[in-house]
Structure 1
Amino acid sequence: MEKIKDKIETLLYENAPDFEISKLLKADIKTYFGTLDETFRKSSGKGFLLKHTYKIDTLLDLVYKTAMRSMFGTYMPLTNTLPITLLALGSYGRQQLCVHSDIDLMIVYKELPGYNTQEMIEKILYILWDAGLKLGHRVHEVSTLFEVSQSDITIKSAMLESRYVVGSKQLWGQIQNELTRMRKDNPQIFIRAKIEEMNDKHKKYPMTMEPNIKEGVGGFRNANLVYWIGNILHNITRIEDLDESIVSAQAYKEFLKALEFLFKVRSALHLVTKKKEDQLRLELIPEVSQCLGYEDTQQGQMRFSRNVISSLKIIKLHTTIWIEELSHYYDKEQMLLPQSHSYLELLKQMSKSDSTQFPVHPNFLKALYNSPRPAQASQRIYPILTEIFKHPQSHLILTTLVETRLLGYTISYLKKIINLPQFDGYHKYAVGIHTIKCIEALENIEDKNVKKLYEALSQKEQTFMKVVTLLHDAGKGRKKSHSEVGMVLLKGLGEKLKFSKEEIKIGRNLILHHLLMSTTAQREDLHSEQTILKFSSHFKTQKELDFIYILTYADMNGVGSNIYTEFTARLIHELYLQASLTIQNVSLLEQTSKRIKKEKQLKKLLAFQTLPKTLQNKTLKINSDMFFVKNKPESIINIITKAHALKEFDFLISNKKFLTIEILRKDNLDLSFFLYKLSHLNVVHMDIYKLFNGIKYFRIDFSEIIPENDYLSLHQLIDKALKRVHTLSITKPKILKQDIFIDCNHSKENAILKLNCSDQKGLLSYIINLFDLFNIDINSAKIHTKSNRTNDLFLIEKNGNFCNNTNLIIEELTESE
């Protein structure tokens, strides 16, 4: 700094223009800002802010004296006799100036005929502007300060933070007299206005995953407000100077640690973004956390974010209590006041209180926070928890526990998710807050369809739903799937709350599949019967379906605004209605359940995981349940891999214990012709499945093997069946009407034809040929022959060709020639 003073002195001696001096200062400022990253690494908290504030103080001092030297030359008056004083305001006044924050400066002067104060002030400002400083300034004549302070509470609060930097100390004495006048001017009106201003800011900037650490809940404005009120009422310049009865040493120590951490975060934010930035946006977290020494991993970033949320909560709690101690702003008539110092008694008091008494009075927060309690909550807490969940607005009680940082203590099953961040860009809040938001949504349902279902529940069922909702994300923050961990936690808490085994079973299933309804409704084809069946198979009763609908509503509304939209609500309600119809078809659901189990086995296989994602998706969308139920996972992979690579057709012949023929084809297979030519062999089993891309898979098992010298003719026969359609004259088999069962209401997409009759030569060939004549498409077939009786099942696509012609088909099957 001495070097730059000498250079400025040289320029002044040479009568250089002010712009040259500004250029010199600008270069010095640029060099200084270039060193801030290194300085921050050495001293990142309040010390860093003090150093930065001191640098700006020194710079202003230099500019002031330079302007004096420029104006008066060697006849420069004493600083104290020139009626101009430079004061720091805002964060600069509090010595908390961040790197890219505006330098709030107030220049106060006294208008005297003997001094050209306006020209002097202009010279100071022009030098500062040309030097490139980001300046926010006010210029006032000392006699107008009080009047100006009355025009706006923001101006008044800024003036109250005035700190002398350089200039006339004689004038500073007059300024302090004006500041005293300001403090005594309607202090209660000012305090009330500042509290309401903070409350408005909190509504605008809630404690989300992207908090505003200046204006938001628990941010610097909370701490500033305590300072402003303390300054007005007690003329203190530091919060710690307040009486011990207001600010205890222990509380201040905890508060200061949190505040110091947020100072570091704000400085890092400014350094990383190279601008004034007070919102910790998700994309900034990796760089900011690394700047503060956290490891460059997701775990490191989660620890950092967790500390941010925790610090904001600490500041919010203590400042709320201190503001009330100072101002007595909060309504003691309406808000809940403590009637005990016992932790359990305070919980009981909340469980019995009316919703209108919330949020609780700060005195209640203080009593709850300071209440004596053991290291771990005793078993006596669980009956009280039951009463809390019975409260129609239990989220208000849970919010109180969040604010006092006692939620994890009270409900230990939630410990892991307290302040746990979510970086998915979808959830607006950390897990703990999201959970309470879900309970709030559950207790204040706006969707009329969901509301009707919830209100129809008994109080016990509503309590059950609150517990399930509370724990649906409680498994997050672990290596295992959070839904699976949540199931374990539900069992633990459910037993403590005396839930029945059936309730615990249902609750575990709801938590395991709590995302299924929203993902199915928004991502899957709701016109697909397979989609509805797969979803419905997880919720086998109407009550369980009602529960998952209610839980989905609560979960989505707890994420943030504009998630559960009118469009989303319609999709979910449509899925609910279709599933309500589907769960009545027990046999279909059982089959789909078996398929889902097989799908899970399939997904675990490395061979399946290494397949292209498109092929995996196509496989899981194959319509036939029986394809999954009857085949082993390894066989499924083998079949779909061949189908994926298929050009026209492929077949495999196995002739060991019995003859098995497997065929994959894209276009034609004259199955009727093929079976007719092999009618001398006894078919004991046949499967037909539609796969994907128009490919069908056929597997035919015969009761015997064939001689090796028949191999060539079999190959030729398969080739003929694949190449063209043949005209056949087949003897009609003997089938009775009672041997045939047709159900066109089997499912939304498929009809069924069952045939139970005596086994006859050419039977299958005749049936397939008949289907071809009517252009009937077989989605799946299961042929089984035993003891000269055949039991055939055909799953037939409902395209109108079958169900519109059932009488004719029966006649063709049963009439004698």
Structure 2
Amino acid sequence: MTSEPSAAPASRRRVTPPRFDRAWLEELLGEREPLPQHLRAAHKHASTRLREMAAAGLSASHLVAARSRMMDTLLRALWRRHLGGTRGLVLIAVGGYGRGELHPWSDIDLMVLINGALPAQRRTALQQFLTELWDIGPDVGHSVRTLEECRETARQDITIATNLIEARRLVGAKKPFEALRQLTFSDELWTSRSFFERKLEEQRDRHHKFHDTAYKLEPNVKESPGGLRDIQMIGWVAKRHFGARTLSDLASYGFLSRDEHRKLVEGQSFLWRVRWLLHESAGRKEDRLLFDYQLKLAKRLGYEDQEHSLAVEQFMQRYYRTVMELNRLNEMLLQLFKEAILLEGEPRLEPINEHFQLKNGYLDVVDRDVFRRDPSALLELFHVLQQQPEAEGVSAGTIRLIRQHRRLINERFRRDPKNKALFMAILREPQGVTHEFRRMNSYGVLGRYIPEFGHIVGRMQYDLFHTYTVDEHTLFVLSNLRRFALSRFDHEYPECSRIMQALPKPELAYLAGLFHDIAKGRGGDHSELGADDALRFCRRHGLSNYDSRLVAWLVRQHLLLSLTAQKKDISDPRVIHDFAEKVGDQLHLDYLYVLTVADVRATNPELWNSWKGSLFQELYNNTSRALRRGLINPVARDEMIAETQRESLERLAKRRVAAEHVRDIWKALPGDYFLRHSPSEIEWHTEALMAHANPNTPLVQVRRANERGGTAVFVCSPRDDLAFARSTAALEQLGLTVLDARIVSTRDERTLYTWVVLEADGEEIDDPRRSDEIFRIMREEAGRLGGEPRAIRRRMPRQHRSFSTPTRIHFDDDERNGRTILEISTGDRPGLLTRIAGALRETRIRLQTAKVATVGEKAEDIFFITETDDSPLNSEERRQALADALLRRLDDDN
């Protein structure tokens, strides 16, 4: 069963809603005339009173209504002062103000309805009214129109027509207002049908802007799917077509059940509360639930940190589950409206089986008792949809029945062999897997059938790395795996597609994807707990012991490949051999590879890049070769060096480079150089070094479209302890993201640096002018032998400032290669690598190579280091000295 996060504790003290009426204003003003300064003071006083009542626990519905009434009172007083004796004019509230819903910084949308041209005196009075209204305090949007102008503008602009539907008379003549209302709801402007179609198109476009998901790290409370705008959409259609005044009217018309109305009102009230507090926290109109405010709102709503769940995560889970429920209701109601407004005559019925039929193109039950008679139909529905690709979706009536009967999915239901077979059939169907699993989650069926999945619905992790909630991320993993399996997407990731399409049982990869993060938020190792869940599920669903263990192994090891590629030196044959031993065979490697790529791409699409893809591909290829060779016959270091040199020589020979000249250059290079670089890179470096006439001056080369992804920057300079810090500072000041740094000290007292960089947004550098800029700056830096690094003046991104990441430093031994491994986890910020370089220089530590990874707001960097004589840091005192230097530099402002 889907577990609901507990609602935040609310004040138990009964709070009396404030009254804002003419008597209140007169009492507040005393004997004074309602001049702007007096009304401004009244507005400030009332706003303060509302903030106090919000803090005391006054409901959001009372707050938004009270603020609206307060503005009514102020506006009427000001209107009567300037235009009280004027006939034929009407002051009208439109938009949200017309609905009587105002938040602390909501716009005050007004329209003045006039009867023809205004005499000069009235025009002056109206201008004074509007000018003084601005002086009171709130942001005001206004228009002055005749009835004919309303007709013309509303015909052309659906937004104006929508605002008129919300029109509410504040003060002034009644007859012109009634004429406006009659016009607004006539077919003269928009027919009910055309209005509905246009608003439906508007909603689709709006949802697309948010990638059709409310599960973003910083959602928009108003505009995101499931947000307040979706509730308003229901209200607009209900008012235009059915003449409804409130959401409760829809219940009396039979479009909403009592339970659905309750959930709609509760969801709206919660979002109102969030938006009210959001405006207060921001001190301005702000509808984005930014990281800056999530912590504050969680605290104000009464959430507290728990052992396995932060207060902010509990708050955001409630938010996501609320908008998910509102999204479901929006879909169902708009489908009902579509059937009532757009479909005419007798419905078109096409029978499918004893349970289902197509009704006007939508899957529908044959009668209302289908799920009660045979609960298995709750799963069968999704399998039928896979086999009916022409179906436009599920009818609103059937969606409602699913919601009413999903409680039937209990332990008895899960044990039923028929239902187990149906679930596996959905997973194995050649089409529609992703669509139907998304639909199963949306309708609340997936979380009922797999209770563990229900716990992660709407669950977020408070960081910048995990862009989506756990359930949304999981469904994106499933989607990515499906794209690998379908040949029409072969062009996206050819190698993943080749491997996925050759897997004997692709459904095992889907199951691993479904369970890989299912234990998030329970405490303990989510990989181990999830593996246990997966093993039980697979065995219960009739999978063989081998297949069940394979799925469980994938869940347990789903981070293995990415961590190895990003945190270990995969140029080291022993690293490859150790990884191959853990994988065991090619089949496990194939499954793990496609799952890893699908997982990383679904975690944060903006952090996926060609460099990361090349790392994973390189690890996969080298491991495949190790497995073919046999684990009892690992590749020796010298053998790999010789193989790389042989291939490099062959490449250079094709370019008519003499082997003896090559070997002269290579004499100065240590064996490790040939492990850390590919033959293509060695070819590039060798030609550059041969063409460089003076070995005592720096050499700089920039190569775009590097084979490993990203842009490669190659620097060769006389040995200089400050060179790494200077180069790092220059790259960071250029706004580049450093992905990899490989440093090789030559036997003739030079140092070779090879950097791989991308733009800060993760994009490739494809502008020749940008490459020229990098070349120019790096050549300047390389020429400043012994010079200090330049200062970093870039600002920290806004989102990063919301997090405080403690610095953690860990040392490990790389005995096989005579190095020490330094692992640093800290908050990412401009100049980070330069600070680390400064600490290495301060403690006279030599950097051999680095693997740089940014995980959202966190930097997780690996450095392979030695003493200046190339020996490892075996002394605890030396390690502590380096750690102290790093902490001093990194924790200054973190």
TM-score (norm 2): 0.63
**Could you say which residue in structure 1 is the equivalent of 2:426?**
388
1:163 aligns with 2:180: no
Larger deviation, residues 224-233 vs 350-359: 350-359
Query: Alignment partner for residue 288 of structure 2, among 268, 271, 279?
Result: 279
Q: Which amino acid aligns with 2:632?
A: S
State yes or no: 1:510 paired with 2:554.
Answer: yes
Tell me the CA shift for residue 59 of structure 1.
1.1
Residues 325 and 613 from structure 1, CA distance in 2 versus in 1: closer, same or farther, beyond 3 angstroms?
closer
Question: Match for residue 309 of structure 1?
Answer: 320
SS at match of 1:562: helix
CA contact (8 A) 2:94 2:166 kept: yes
Larger radius of gyration: 1
Residue 124 of structure 1: aligned partner: 129
Judge conservation of contact 1:109–1:142 (CA < 8 Å) in 2. yes
Name the CA shift for 1:422/1:667 in 2 (closer, same or farther; >3 Å).
closer
Give how far 1:306 is off.
1.3
Contact 1:146 1:182 in 2 (8 A): no
Cα distance in 2 for residues equivalent to 1:397 and 1:83? 58
Partner AA of 1:474 in structure 2: I
Q: What corresponds to 2:214 in structure 1? A: 207
Q: Structure 1 CA distance, aligned partners of 2:59 and 2:469?
A: 26
The answer to whether the aligner puts 1:325 opposite 2:336 as a matched pair is yes
Quick check: 1:286–1:296 contact (8 Å CA) kept in 2?
Answer: no
Name the residue aligned to 1:743: none
Give the one of 246, 249, 268 matched to 1:259: 268
Q: Give how far 1:6 is off.
A: 7.9
Is residue 406–residue 445 contact of structure 2 (8 Å, CA) maintained in 1? no
Q: Does 1:185 find its partner at 2:190?
A: yes
C-alpha contact 2:50 2:63 (8 A) present in aligned 1 = no
Deviation at 1:556, TM superposition (A): 1.8
Partner of 1:457: 503
Is contact 2:219–2:290 with CA below 8 Å preserved after alignment? yes
Q: How many residue pairs are counted as aligned between the two chains?
A: 602
* Residue aligned with 1:587, SS: coil
Aligned counterpart for 2:277 among listed residues 252, 265, 268: 268
Residue 38 (1) aligns with residue 52 (2): yes
Conserved? CA contact 1:483–1:511, under 8 Å: yes
The 3 A distance-change label for structure 1 pair 385 and 62 is same
Contact 1:212-1:278 within 8 A present in 2 as well: yes
**Cross-structure match for 1:399:** 438
Name the CA shift for 1:306/1:35 in 2 (closer, same or farther; >3 Å).
same
Which blocks of at least 5 consecutive residues in structure 2 are unaligned? 1-21, 344-357, 485-491, 637-806, 822-842, 846-865, 877-894
Greater relative contact order (CA < 8 Å, ≥ 6 in sequence)? 2
User: 1:417 Cα deviation (Å)?
Assistant: 0.9
Distance 2:291 2:376 in 1: 39
Q: Please say which of residues 172-181 and 428-437 is displaced more in the overlay.
A: 172-181
How far, CA to CA, are the matches of 1:304 and 1:182 in structure 2?
45
The equivalent of 2:519 in structure 1 is 475
1:623 aligned partner: 816
CA pair 525-170 structure 1, distance change in 2 beyond 3 A: same
What's the counterpart of residue 27 of structure 1? 41
- Cα distance in 2, alignment partners of residues 388 and 123 from structure 1: 68
Q: Describe the shift of the 1:395–1:364 C-alpha distance in structure 2 as closer, same or farther (beyond 3 A).
A: farther
**Aligned counterparts of 1:666 and 1:253: Cα–Cα separation in 2:** 69
- State the match for 1:586 in structure 2: 631
The 1:646/1:64 distance shift into structure 2, 3 A limit, reads closer
2:489 equivalent to 1:489 = no
Pairing 1:622-641 to 2, within 5 Å after superposition = 622-623=815-816
CA shift digits 1:272-319 (9 cap, x unpaired): 111111121233211011122222665322221111111111111112
Equivalent-residue separation in structure 2 for 1:552 and 1:320 (angstroms): 34
Structure 2 counterparts to residues 147-158 of structure 1, below 5 A? 147-158=152-163
Q: Does structure 2 conserve the Cα–Cα contact (< 8 Å) formed by 1:553 and 1:564?
A: no
| Counterpart mapping for 1:499-648 below 5 A | 499-583=543-627, 584-587=629-632, 614=809, 616-619=810-813, 621-623=814-816
What secondary structure, in the 3-state scheme, does the structure 2 residue paired with 1:255 have?
helix
Residues 309 and 113 (structure 1 numbering): CA distance in 2 closer, same or farther, change over 3 Å?
A: closer
Within the candidate set 438, 459, 467, 2:477 is matched to 438
1:341-367 CA-to-partner distances (Å, cap 9, x unmatched) read 324224223214244536544444223
- The alpha-carbon deviation at position 5 of structure 1 amounts to 4.6
Q: Tell me the amino acid that sits aligned with residue 476 of structure 2.
A: K
Residue-by-residue CA offset, 1:394-444 (whole Å, 9 max, x unaligned) = 121111112112221022231221211121211221111111111111101
List per-residue Cα deviations over 1:588-623 (Å, max 9, x = no partner): 7899xxxxxxxxxxxxxxxxxxxx965x4332x332
Deviation at 1:548, TM superposition (A): 0.7
The correspondence for 2:377, drawn from 336, 345, 348, is 345
* Compared CA separation, residues 201 and 185, structure 1 to 2 (3 A): closer
Residue 294 of structure 1 corresponds to 303
1:705-754 Cα offsets, whole Å, 9 max, x none, are xxxxxxxxxxxxxxxxxxxxxxxxxxxxxxxxxxxxxxxxxxxxxxxxxx
Q: Deviations for 1:134-192, whole angstroms, at most 9, x for unmatched residues?
A: 11112111232222211111111111110111222233222222223368732211110
Q: Is the 8 A contact 1:666 1:695 kept in 2?
A: no
Q: CA deviation at 1:335?
A: 4.2
Assess, with a 3 A threshold, how the Cα gap between structure 1 residues 51 and 178 changes in structure 2: closer, same or farther.
Answer: same
Distance 1:355 1:177, change over 3 A: closer
% identity of equivalent residues: 22
- Matched to 1:568, the amino acid is K
How has the CA–CA distance of structure 1 residues 320 and 667 changed in structure 2, closer, same or farther, with 3 Å as cutoff? closer
Aligned residue in 2 for 1:224: 232
Q: CA deviation at 1:375?
A: 5.8
Output the amino acid matched with 1:586: L
How far apart are the structure 2 equivalents of 1:7 and 1:51? Answer: 16
Equivalent residues in 2 for 1:100-139, closer than 5 Å: 100-111=105-116, 116-139=121-144
Q: Which amino acid aligns with 2:335?
A: E
- Cα–Cα, structure 1 residues 3 and 88, in superposed 2: closer, same or farther, change >3 Å? closer
Q: For 1:89 and 1:576, locate their aligned partners in 2 and report how far apart those are by CA, in whole Å.
A: 61
Is the counterpart of residue 368 in structure 1 residue 402 in structure 2? yes
Deviation at 1:47, TM superposition (A): 1.0
Q: In 2, Cα distance between the equivalents of 1:320 and 1:667?
A: 66
Which residue of the partner structure matches residue 59 of structure 1? 74
SS in 2 for 1:617: strand
Contact residue 150 and residue 156 of structure 1 kept, 8 A: yes
Q: Quote the offset at 1:517 in angstroms.
A: 1.7
| CA RMSD across the alignment | 3.3
Q: Distance in 1 between matches of 2:605 and 2:39?
A: 49
For the structure 1 residues 183 and 260, does the alpha-carbon distance in structure 2 shift closer, same or farther, using more than 3 Å as the test? farther
Cα distance in 1 for partners of 2:174, 2:868 equals: 98
Indicate how the Cα distance of structure 1 residues 266 and 613 shifts in structure 2: closer, same or farther if over 3 A, else same. closer
Instruction: Give 1:557 shift.
Output: 2.5
SS of the aligned residue for 1:538 comes to helix
Tell me what 1:92 maps to. Answer: 97
Once the two structures are superposed, residues 37-71 of structure 1 have per-residue CA deviations (whole angstroms, 9 ceiling, x without a partner) of: 31212314111111111111111111111223xxx
Gaps of 5+ in 1: 13-19, 69-75, 592-611, 629-644, 648-664, 669-689, 697-817
- TM-score in terms of structure 1 length: 0.68
Distance, in Å, in 1 between the alignment partners of 2:526 and 2:138 is 51
Aligned counterparts of 1:210 and 1:559: Cα–Cα separation in 2: 15
Q: Indicate yes or no: 2:862 matched with 1:692.
A: no
Once structures 1 and 2 are overlaid, which stretch shifts more, 292-301 or 255-264? 292-301
Cα distance in structure 2, aligned partners of 1:98 and 1:430 = 28
Distance 1:359 1:525, change over 3 A: farther
